[in-house]
């Protein structure tokens, strides 16, 4: 666990450095192509670099608020949602974290959840309304334990930064591609002698603009799949109940509705891919943000020494809730 925390801290710094460098390079390419010459390139390099540094710091300190706002989440108290709040408190105690994360609800039917923040002291958990309605207490506990593991491991810091920074690269690149497509590059100043060099730089700029978001996206995809398996395992360490999470994932997988408030920059934060790409339902491609949910369920079932028949809700209850159901009336 400490190894994972160290890795996440290092990865967060590397990511910020990488993005600043990438955007500076992008700035140079765009500047050289549009304004012409190295002076234009260096000028935009500086502008992009500074903007990237400012944005990284903003992402580090307020990334969680941005992600929560984009997801349409609103904060709730113990009075609003006693059960959700209690389950979060239970998992905070199980994880031995110093304070209870802020609890948010997303008013949507699709069942999903995510955690964000920069460290356990500044963390939030958001759950959709559909998730709360669909899951029983034990299943909800499994989901919250999964999110609590992301918080404890500092996954939230890295994942939130990835969302904010990747989102920005995509934005800048999209903007540039659209701008050049509409002929902005045609109005480039500079003499005829610059034309050939300009054309070369133009090609470089477009290539960079295409590669940049791709590179950023694949970082996002590669990192988040391993983290999901790890968080599933840590969640079981917290609840000592693999079946709760397995049943929750099973219910989530069965629901075909995509989450309207999720987008490509935040998809990797959620417990299960909120976009639900219909085409690639079971395929395990390079661009999947999440491991196949069937595989996650299978691993959890193995931990519980259980089979798929135990996935139907209400079975295998171990903890105090709910009180034992009335025994079947079969007196001899």
**What count of residues does the chain have?**
332
Q: In terms of CB distance, is 123 or 239 closer to other proteins?
A: 239
Please pick, among 81, 147, 228, 272, the residue that the annotation labels catalytic: 147
Please give the Cα distance from 189 to 16 (Å, whole number): 34
DSSP string, 289-303: SS--HHHHHHHHHHH
Q: Which of 38, 74, 82, 260 binds other proteins (CB under 8 A)?
A: 82
Q: In terms of CB distance, is 286 or 332 closer to other proteins?
A: 332
What is the per-residue binding string for other proteins in 227-266, x denoting contact by CB under 8 A? -----------x-x--------------------------
Q: Least CB distance from residue 65 to other proteins, whole Å?
A: 28
Q: In terms of CB distance, is 137 or 225 closer to other proteins?
A: 137
Q: Which residues of 28-63 are buried (b: 16+ CB within 10 A; e: fewer)?
A: bbbbbbbbbbeebbbbbbeebbebbbebbeebbeeb
319 binds other proteins (CB under 8 A): yes
Please give the Cα distance from 231 to 61 (Å, whole number): 24
1 binds other proteins (CB under 8 A): no
Q: Which residue from 56, 17, 68, 110 is spatially nearest to 266, judged by alpha carbons?
A: 68
Active site residue 147: yes
89 binds other proteins (CB under 8 A): yes
Please give the Cα distance from 136 to 94 (Å, whole number): 19
Q: In terms of CB distance, is 129 or 257 closer to other proteins?
A: 129
94-113 binders of other proteins (CB under 8 A) = 94-96
5 binds other proteins (CB under 8 A): no
Q: Which of 43, 47, 72, 90 binds other proteins (CB under 8 A)?
A: 90
Distances (CA, A) of 185 to 81, 83, 104, 174: 54, 57, 45, 15
Q: Least CB distance from residue 86 to other proteins, whole Å?
A: 3
Helix (H, G, I), strand (E, B) or coil at 288: coil
Q: Which of 38, 83, 218, 284 binds other proteins (CB under 8 A)?
A: 83
Please give the Cα distance from 176 to 185 (Å, whole number): 10
Which residues are designated catalytic?
A: 147
């Amino acid at each position: 666990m400490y190894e994972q925390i160290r890795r996440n801290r290092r990865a967060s710094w590397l990511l910020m450095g990488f993005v600043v460098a990438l955007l500076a390079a992008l700035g140079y390419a765009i500047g050289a192509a549009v304004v012409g010459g190295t002076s234009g390139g260096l000028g935009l390099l500086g502008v992009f670099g500074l903007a990237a540094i400012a944005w990284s710091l903003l992402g580090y300190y307020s990334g969680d608020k941005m992600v929560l706002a984009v997801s349409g989440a609103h904060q709730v108290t113990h009075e609003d949602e006693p059960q959700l709040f209690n389950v979060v408190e239970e998992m905070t105690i199980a994880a031995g974290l110093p304070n209870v994360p802020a609890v948010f609800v997303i008013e949507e039917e699709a069942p999903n959840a995510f955690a964000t923040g920069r460290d356990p002291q500044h963390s939030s958990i958001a759950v959709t309304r559909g998730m709360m309605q669909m899951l029983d207490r034990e299943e909800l506990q499994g989901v919250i334990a999964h999110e609590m593991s992301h918080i404890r491991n500092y996954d939230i810091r890295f994942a939130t930064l990835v969302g904010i920074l990747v989102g920005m690269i995509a934005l800048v690149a999209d903007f540039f591609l659209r701008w050049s497509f509409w002929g902005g590059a045609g109005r480039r100043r500079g003499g005829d002698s610059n034309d050939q060099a300009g054309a070369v730089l133009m090609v470089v700029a477009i290539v960079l603009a295409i590669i940049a978001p791709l590179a950023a996206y694949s970082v996002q995809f590669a990192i988040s799949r391993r983290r999901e398996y790890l968080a599933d395992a840590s969640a079981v360490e917290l609840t000592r109940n693999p079946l709760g999470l397995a049943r929750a994932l099973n219910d989530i997988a069965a629901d075909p509705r995509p989450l309207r408030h999720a987008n490509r920059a935040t998809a990797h934060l959620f417990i299960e891919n909120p976009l639900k790409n219909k085409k690639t339902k079971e395929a395990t491609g390079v661009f999947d943000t999440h491991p196949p949910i069937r595989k996650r369920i299978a691993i959890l079932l193995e931990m519980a020494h259980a089979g798929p028949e135990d996935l139907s809700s209400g079975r295998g209850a171990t903890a105090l809730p709910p009180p034992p159901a009335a025994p079947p009336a079969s007196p001899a």
